[in-house]
Structure 1
Amino acid sequence: MASIILPRVLEVGAGAMARLPAVLQGLGCRNPLIVTDRMMAQLGYLERLRGLLAEAGMGGDVFADTLPEPTAASLEGGLAMVRDGDYDAVVALGGGSPIDSAKAIAVLGRHGGIINDYRFPRQVDEAGLPVIAIPTTAGTGSEATRFTIITDERTDEKLLCVGAAFMPVAALVDYELTVSVPPRTTADTGIDAMTHAIEAYVSRKANGYSDSQALAALRLIGPHLRRAYHDGEDRAAREAMMLGATLAGVAFCNSSVALVHGMSRPIGAFFHVPHGLSNAMLLPAVTEYSLPAASARYADCARALGFAGLDDDDARANAKLLDTLVAINDELQVPTPAGFGIDRDRFFEVRHTMAEQALASGSPGNNPRVPEAEEIVRLYEALW
């Protein structure tokens, strides 16, 4: 049996952001706290959002100090505002990091404690303040998931927090907000979304519902990722990627992620590599490692992505999948860890710790081929 959880409201398409006042009204909310970052202010999106709220006679206080990789400390300013204010909702505007920050602020602001109290394996189902997510990248799918990831900067560990409390009540999925996203971020977030859909489909927790969403996401992402990267003004590609990212979020929220994500989080925590970029670095090698345990499923992914033909047998489809994943990383200029600027000695020094943290996250246990710690260490070494 699969237990499916989704946002109560999903507004999808051009101009969806303008629905915010009506969505808040429908939830009985009038005084939201907007959680965002400085880039949204610079791009003018924050001003537009506050204008929509002001026209409807609603509040619009702002916490704009979220970090690209949120930490326990980076939440403090927003938490202080929630504790001292009279907010009845949290509006998250931005990529995965502002949305993850908003989820944590909404739960901690209502229930207290520190983020470590909420880490997996605890299931957090007690509702916080309602979150309305407005994603501005086609990537994390955080607008449609019951997860948030916050780094504990004292230990350099990314904490996974799970439960219905972290599922936004509403998501306004407006692809027009992604047209200004630069190529590097388009690539990283797009490969992140592709990874979500692939891992959801090959996961040991996959089910009929998550399969349908994962395959739909892959059919959208495969033909449009490179188009959006090369031409940010390609609205058809932007629209397909945005919907694909949300469907991939729905897929892995109701299945799981697997080994790529398990290994990716420690790289992000230790070396401050953006999450989508560390996924991209890992995806070809981890797919090759995992393939023998789920050959038919990976072949389905290759065909859905359009990397293989419908008449290709599984072996041929999977060979094309591996070749295309490597080719996409080349075309989208995904750097190696060395190319990113990571120090080799430090990387090798912490590889065993990273492997233990990856296993502790639980994600590798959902992989079709479940690794031992030493196998993860070898994959990190091969990645270098």
Structure 2
Amino acid sequence: MTDLLRSFDYVFPTEICYGENIVAELPHRIKRDGISSVLLITDPGLKDMPFTRKILDVLKTGGVRCAVYGGVEANPKDHNVQSAAALAREKGAEALIALGGGSPMDCAKAVAILAPQGGEVRDYEDSSRIGEKILPLYTVPTTAGTGSEVTFSAVITDSRAKFKFTVKSPRIAPRAAFIDPQLSVSMPSALTAATGMDALTHAIEAFTARNANPLSDAAALHAVDLINSFLVRAVKTPEDMEARAGMMLGSLIAGIAFSHSDVASVHCLAEALGGMYDSPHGVCNAVALPVVMEYNLEYALDLYARIARVMGIAFESSEEGARRAVERVKFLAVEVGLPRFSELGIRESDFPVLAEKSAQNGSNRDNPRPMKSEDYLELLKILQRG
């Protein structure tokens, strides 16, 4: 159980606007803040989607000028941030809208700093350099996975060093998040599966992180319940709006949880893999989650047992509950058709570098089991054996 006597802060500056067709309220919310010109940041796959055109029409009708940057790559790169920030300055954008999954939203958070403050994006890895002049950000998620619509951190890839770094400050928290489960219906099943397992990773790591607190615990456990209940349905029956809503809310609530706790070794591995190989973040989290849970087992028996209870699993001891939670996570990954680690094309010769990068990750300190580079090397070998 989380130490109930330990001090903590809980800041939540983002307004949440949830419901079908909620994006119709976007122009009103933006104009209420005295803003008339925005830059919409998204990725190449979304910039010409019907719902993107609908949002642009809603903004135009509502009297908000909108330019579009549609070049965000998966695992957003530093040069994506630089290009979008240059366009924001050129167009005189007074605010930003991020549309899509975690990549556009993380990119937009960094642009919110860079456009008014200048410099290189990695300058702001040191949060003390983030000044007060930040462009307001409004988020519209189209995937149920990252929770980035409400978090105040952005993970960006240094394209030269092939290393993911984090820009983090409550100042870059979105001003408002517009969450409509209908926007996730167009996601392919494989993306639904990967992003859903990403959200489950957020919830489980938030609950077991050493920096957890009672409020993040409550959010994390509710998120586990929702994702466990609705992930398979969302993958197998994509038009099931109850399942889509359950996953959108599960992802959102998991985002609230880990932004006020932390993630841990699953993310350390996933970010190392994404930095070096540009591998999909959700897939990397999904394949690593049960293996890391098993590795952590003796350090988190009671925590994993509580997760098992939330998943509706009966057991007689904490050890049994913890092991059954790991088995349930393994089952979910197989049930939704996620690939094995050995299918990701990771070279064994890179394992030592990946292990070292994982150990250097800022979230490494919050894993329930103390982890060194040799532990990550062992995890990579276990993953490779499958």
The answer to whether the superposition gives a TM-score over 0.5 is yes
- CA offset at residue 167 of structure 1? 1.1
Q: What letter corresponds to residue 256 of structure 1 in structure 2?
A: D
Structure 2 equivalent of residue 333 of structure 1: 337
Give yes or no for contact 2:342–2:383 (8 Å, CA) kept in 1: no
Matches within 5 A, 1:205-354: 205-306=211-312, 308-309=313-314, 312-340=316-344, 342-343=345-346, 347-354=347-354
Match of 2:43 in 1: 37
Equivalent residue runs for 1:1-384 within 5 Å:
1-119=7-125, 124=130, 126-306=132-312, 308-309=313-314, 312-340=316-344, 342-343=345-346, 347-384=347-384
C-alpha distance in 1, partners of 2:267/2:128?
19
For residue 371 of structure 2, give the secondary structure of its aligned residue in structure 1. Answer: coil
Quick check: 1:123–1:162 contact (8 Å CA) kept in 2?
Answer: no
Q: Note the alpha carbon deviations across 1:22-76, whole angstroms, 9 max, x for none.
A: 2102222111111112222332121111111111111011111111121111223
CA offset at residue 8 of structure 1?
3.1
Q: CA deviation at 1:121?
A: 6.6
- Pick closer, same or farther for the CA change 1:77–1:362 going to 2, 3 Å: closer
Distance 2:311 2:17 in 1: 25
Q: Partners in 2 of 1:101 and 1:8 — Cα distance?
A: 17
2: distance between equivalents of 1:139 and 1:364? 21
- Paired amino acid for 2:261: S
Q: Which runs of 5+ in 1 are unaligned?
A: none
TM-score normalised by L of structure 1:
0.95
2:381 alignment partner AA: E
1:146 and 1:164 in contact (8 A); partners too: yes
Q: Is the 8 A contact 1:13 1:239 kept in 2?
A: no
Q: Tell me: CA distance 1:125–1:185, structure 2 relative to 1, closer, same or farther (3 Å).
A: farther
On the 8 A contact 2:82/2:120 being kept in 1, the answer is no
Q: CA deviation at 1:246?
A: 0.5
Contact 1:150 1:159 in 2 (8 A): yes
DSSP 3-state at the match of 1:199: helix
Deviates more, 1:328-337 or 1:271-280: 328-337
Contact conserved, 1:124 with 1:162, CA < 8 A, in 2?
A: no
Number of residue equivalences: 378
| 1:186-205 Cα deviation digits (max 9, x unpaired) | 01100000000100101100
Alpha-carbon spacing, 1:223–1:40, altered in 2? closer, same or farther (3 Å): same
RMSD of aligned C-alpha atoms? 1.5
SS at match of 1:177: helix
Q: What is the rounded CA distance, in whole Å, between the counterparts of 1:66 and 1:198 in structure 2?
A: 28
Query: In 1, distance between residues paired with 2:77 and 2:165?
Result: 9
Give, in angstroms, the shift of residue 250 of structure 1: 0.5
Task: Say whether the 8 Å CA contact 1:221–1:305 is kept in structure 2.
Answer: no
SS in 2 for 1:359: helix
Provide structure 2 residue ranges, at least 5 long, that are not aligned to the other structure.
1-6
Stretch moving more, 28-37 or 230-239: 28-37
Could you give the per-residue CA deviations for residues 95-150 of structure 1, whole angstroms, max 9, x where no partner exists?
11011111111111111111111125757463510000000000000011111011
Q: In structure 2, give the amino acid aligned to 1:365.
A: R
SS in 2 for 1:213: helix
CA contact (8 A) 2:139 2:177 kept: yes
